[in-house]
Amino acid sequence: MVPIQMVDLKRQYAKIKSQIDAGMQEVLESAAFINGAPVQLFGKELEAYLGIKHVINCANGTDALQIAMMAAGLQPGDEVITPSFTFIATAEVIALLNLKPVFVDIDPQTYCIDPTKIEAAITPKTKAIVPVHLYGHVCDMDAIMEVANKHNLLVIEDNAQAIGGTYTGKDGVTRKAGTIGHIGCTSFFPSKNLGCYGDGGALFTNDDAMAAQIRMVANHGQSARYYHDVVGVNSRLDTLQAVVLRVKLPLLDEYINARRKVADAYDAAFANHPQITTPFRAPYSYHVFHQYTLQIENVDRNAFVAYLAEKGVPAMIYYPVPAHKQKMFAAFGSDEFNLPITDELTTKVISLPIHTEMDDDQLRHIIESVLSYLK
């Protein structure tokens, strides 16, 4: 059996090697390392894929979130509502900009921010909501947009884990995750569903003025060459990374299907097990399974992870400490937030390997290993 990894990028690369190598070679020979043609072309192709007016590439997903908040003109002291049950970057950039992260609990089924709990967290200082489509499950965007519109708040979707996922609204229209709020942000970190071979990220918006502001902030606040109107950052997608993304974007739906097949097999194997809760799929969300995350009961989770490791099955805890319990936010009094669902799920979740290259032998071995421990 081929050794099992959380994400198997080597075997994925082997299948697209000739295209990637040829594209990279061309960049090396042209020396157009910064803003080469593939960067613009990829932006256009991603716009078409997402059905959005503007894609602005940047250096990584964390930058995308920071640039979104800067472009939106958020000011020190403004409050931003976000889940604590997320990768740290979401909340970190809020604090970095001297904004205040206000953590709201998650829905125990979807792992996404609970829209019914947002309103109670709104104060006169609240300016934005940052929902996170965690593990590839798309948040209940209608409910979030309703609260946001009522209180005139900006919605910045953290779509780092759900690119290619969709949301079907009450209007019956299906839209791509990241294109429903005012700004969408994503990451092309290698292990993401659409990953490059280094760092990369992007922002999406349908708003022309916002797009212009985002482009300016991402490029040293520059409005015309060497004229700088606002304090910005330097955040670009490398040409070499754009080459990789241009090869992989046409394969994204295929990659998502491969992940969903693995998820279906796990679901079938673990259904009705008394100690296991398999991931929920809300009818409005087309889940892209960036992670396959179980909740497990009455188990010493560390011992279970160690047992799986012994069997050659990697497993991860995403995330062992929620944002509001991180030392980073001590100054914000964040540990005083009462987030019982977040606290509980943090102790129960475990993510199994899921990727585009999983074969039947590996899948069988993972399932057998899990079930041989949780009898």
Ligand X SMILES: *Cc1c(COP(=O)(O)O)cnc(C)c1O
Binding residue for ligand X, selected from 89, 112, 214, 243, defined by CB under 6 A: 89
Residue 155 contacts residue 181 (beta carbons within 8 Å)? yes
Residue 297 contacts residue 177 (beta carbons within 8 Å)? no
**Which C-beta is closer to ligand X: that of 130 or that of 363?**
130
Residues within window 193-232 making contact with ligand X, judged by CB under 6 A: 199, 201
Point out the catalytic residue in the list 192, 248, 311, 348: 192
How far apart are CB 189 and ligand X at their closest, in Å? 4
- Binding status of residue 241 toward ligand X by CB under 6 A: no
Question: Torsions phi, psi of 181, nearest 5?
Answer: -75, -170
- Does residue 319 have a cis peptide bond before it, meaning omega lies within 30 degrees of 0? yes
Question: Torsions phi, psi of 6, nearest 5?
Answer: -60, -45
| 171 to 190: interface string for ligand X, x by CB under 6 A | ----------------x-x-
Distance (Å, rounded) from C-alpha 34 to C-alpha 347?
44
Q: CB under 6 A: which stretch of 1-9, 82-90, 109-117, 355-363 binds ligand X?
A: 82-90
Which residues, 6 or more positions from 32, have their beta carbon under 8 angstroms from its beta carbon? Answer: 239
Residue nearest to ligand X (CB): 61
Distance (Å, rounded) from C-alpha 165 to C-alpha 265?
19
Which residues, 6 or more positions from 124, have their beta carbon under 8 angstroms from its beta carbon? Answer: none
For residue 136, give the amino acid letter.
Answer: G
| 129 to 148: interface string for ligand X, x by CB under 6 A | ---x----------------
Q: 15 an active-site residue?
A: no
Q: CB under 6 A: which stretch of 3-11, 85-93, 110-118, 320-328 binds ligand X?
A: 85-93
Binding residue for ligand X, selected from 8, 105, 107, 158, defined by CB under 6 A: 158
How far apart are CB 310 and ligand X at their closest, in Å? 28
Distance (Å, rounded) from C-alpha 299 to C-alpha 273?
13
Give the active site residues. Answer: 192
Residues forming contacts to ligand X in the complex (CB under 6 A) are: 60-62, 86-87, 89-90, 132, 158, 160-161, 187, 189, 199, 201
